[in-house]
Amino acid sequence: MRQQRGSVILVVLWTSIVLTVLVTVMAARVQLSARTALHNQQAVYDAAAVAEAMHFAEMELMLEQMRPPLDEVPPTDDLGNVRLPAYRFNGQPLTLHYPAGQDIVVRIFDHAGKINLNRLEDRSMLLLLQHWLGPDADPRQADELLAAWRDWRDLDAFTSPNGAEADYYEALDVPYIPRNFPELETVEDLRLIRGFDELFKDVNLDAAFTVYGSTETVNLNLATREAMRLLPGLNEALIDEILTYRETRDFNNRNDVGAIVPLENFVELSSWIGNFTSSYFSVYAYPRAPTALLHESAASEARIAALQPPADSVQEAYMEILQIRNLGYRPTVHQVNPHALLPDTSAPSSLRE
């Protein structure tokens, strides 16, 4: 009798344990399903908000092409000089005329603030390479990189001294053929040229370079940190000074630049700078906090870790490269990247202290 009671108690206990485990598992699954549904709902909301923000950003760029209202008072600096509204497209978070959602950040980068690969003369490329490699590098390294750059962009299949043509690229583990055309299609093409992928492994190429437009110089009012790091004559301290200056004033001419850049550096920098704007823009829109829209693959995580983090916690965003042709038509979309790496938007050190 006692044995039977003991057996019944064991059966009841085991049944209770099994039921407890089943209920716990089911509860966890229900919780996971609810959490997944909530995240999916947030992702759908964010996607719609980002799409709306992109439309408003397009309108912002088109409004910039129009004449301002007669009663509009232009912004001025502390000296009373009028500031050019087009210079706000330098990556700062924007307040649009047609406001985007409260939780959405919009940044617009004018491509006049980037180095145009398709307008670089060989001499300029050599200077850029020497600056990036540093004074302690072997001079032959810059010469070999320049030779590979020339061979990639020339129209013939002949290998120049120290250069690289089809025989080099077709012998790689993943073979391909050189472009043999003066203009690159995308800035990422730069990584295909012998030696350049290793040289710029820690550089956000989309932030530093462009292949759009006819501008040969870089406008310091619009320049990205990544582009300025590559410009001969500039270092991190001077870049911080430039960024601090343009928070409150515009660079209207070379004298303004010369006032904060030492003469020796200015001699190197002078030929690179101009005051042009362009009709090409990289537009980024993203929620203020990371969401399901901003997934990072293992590859992008490793790449991001090597770069200077942006000013906020978001490192990837939806991006479109737009061209404003005229007011009668919507902008032309040249490129779309749902998970573009944001340029370095960190504030100057003087403003962080």
So what's the pLDDT on residue 291? 45
Residue spans of the domains in the chain: they are 1-114+218-353, 120-203
pLDDT band at 156 (very low <50, low <70, confident <90, very high): very high
Specify the CATH class of 120-203 in words: mainly alpha
Residue 28: the pLDDT is: 63
Q: Is 320 a residue whose pLDDT tops 60? A: yes
Name 336's bridge partners. 320
Q: Does pLDDT of 55 surpass 50?
A: yes
Query: Which stretch of 24-33, 201-210, 223-232 has the lowest confidence by average pLDDT?
Result: 24-33
Distance (Å, rounded) from C-alpha 325 to C-alpha 264?
40
For residue 292, name the pLDDT band (cuts at 50, 70, 90).
very low
Mean pLDDT of 184-198: 97
How far apart, in Å, are the Cα atoms of 256 and each of 25, 249, 259? 68, 10, 5
DSSP 146-163: HHHHHHHHSSS-PPPTT-
Asked if pLDDT for residue 162 goes beyond 90, the answer is yes
Question: Mean pLDDT for the chain?
Answer: 87
Which of 20-24, 157-161, 209-213, 252-256 has the lowest average pLDDT? 20-24
Q: What is the mean pLDDT of residues 103-132?
A: 97
Among residues 38, 59, 61, 41, the alpha carbon closest in space to that of 49 is found at: 41
Greater confidence, 239 or 312? 239
Confidence of residue 293 (pLDDT cuts 50, 70, 90): very low
Query: In this model, does residue 294 exceed pLDDT 50?
Result: no
The C-alpha atoms of residue 327 and residue 67 are separated, in whole angstroms, by 11
Residue of higher predicted confidence among 266 and 8 = 266
Is it the case that residue 27 has pLDDT exceeding 60? yes
Position 350 confidence tier, pLDDT thresholds 50, 70, 90: low
- Tell me which long-range contacts 307-311 makes (C-beta under 8 A, separation of at least 24): 307/202, 307/203, 307/204, 307/341, 307/344, 308/225, 308/344, 308/346, 309/344, 309/346, 310/342, 310/343, 310/344, 310/345, 310/346, 311/345, 311/346, 311/347
pLDDT tens by residue, 269-279: 999 999 999 99
Q: Is 41 helix (H, G, I), strand (E, B) or coil?
A: helix
Is pLDDT of 34 > 90?
no
Arithmetic mean of pLDDT, 109-125: 97
Q: Which of 50-59, 182-191, 217-226, 284-293 has the lowest mean pLDDT?
A: 284-293
3-class secondary structure, 177 = coil
Are residues 85 and 65 in contact, defined by beta-carbon separation less than 8 angstroms? no
Distance of alpha carbon 342 from alpha carbon 333, whole angstroms: 18
The Cα 290–Cα 295 span in angstroms is: 8
Q: Give the pLDDT score at 24.
A: 74
Q: How many CB atoms lie within 10 A of CB 243?
A: 20
pTM of the model: 0.83
**Percent of the chain at pLDDT above 90?**
66
Tell whether the model's pLDDT for residue 297 goes beyond 60: no
Q: Does residue 63 contact residue 72 with C-beta atoms inside 8 Å?
A: no
- Write the DSSP symbol of residue 99: -
pLDDT of 41 above 70: no
Give the model's pLDDT for residue 308. 47
Amino acid at 58: E
Quote the pLDDT of residue 57: 95
* Pairing state between β 90-93 and 104-110: antiparallel
Query: Which residues, 6 or more positions from 268, have their beta carbon under 8 angstroms from its beta carbon?
Result: 127, 131, 232, 233
Q: Taking residues 31-60, what's their average pLDDT? A: 76
Phi, psi of 11 (to 5 degrees): -60, -45
Is a pLDDT exceeding 80 seen at residue 86? yes
204 closest CA partner among 184, 237, 230, 179? 230
User: Per-residue confidence at 205, pLDDT binned at 50, 70, 90?
Assistant: very high
